[in-house]
Amino acid sequence: MPGGVLPGSYVAAAPSPISLDPGSRRMLVDGAPVALTPLEFRLLTALLRGNGRVVTREDLRSGLGEWAGNRSRSVDLRIHRIHRIRRKLGPRAAALLTTERGVGFRLRATATPAESG
């Protein structure tokens, strides 16, 4: 079928501008390295593992492991790091990291049509 998509086939989504290299513990945004603290790296890893789904505060708490005083308020203090990560991502990639008010955070691989156009 010229110019069409055959049933059962798919068109691959554009690659994400954000990638993590666990071996070197680096984040790349559009191929350029961006410095992260160890905690920011762990937060971003947890968000990427969410694969576009909302990651709750509780998910982040359990995903980050134990640290001194990891009670609810301590999680809140560490969550502010997500806002620092957003600034480090730059405008295009930062649009992929959204706050789902009262629930958690979502990191999508690509922008939604409303954001991209």
pLDDT of residue 82 exceeding 80, the answer is yes
pLDDT value at residue 109: 77
Confidence of residue 61 (pLDDT cuts 50, 70, 90): confident
- Mean of pLDDT values over 43-65: 83
pLDDT value at residue 75: 61
Confidence of residue 11 (pLDDT cuts 50, 70, 90): very low
Read off the tokens for 90.
């730059």
Using CA atoms, how far apart are residues 115 and 64, in angstroms rounded to an integer?
30
Using CA atoms, how far apart are residues 64 and 46, in angstroms rounded to an integer?
8
57-64 vs 38-49: helix axis angle to the nearest 10?
A: 120
- Token pair 């790296």 is found at 41
Confidence of residue 106 (pLDDT cuts 50, 70, 90): very high
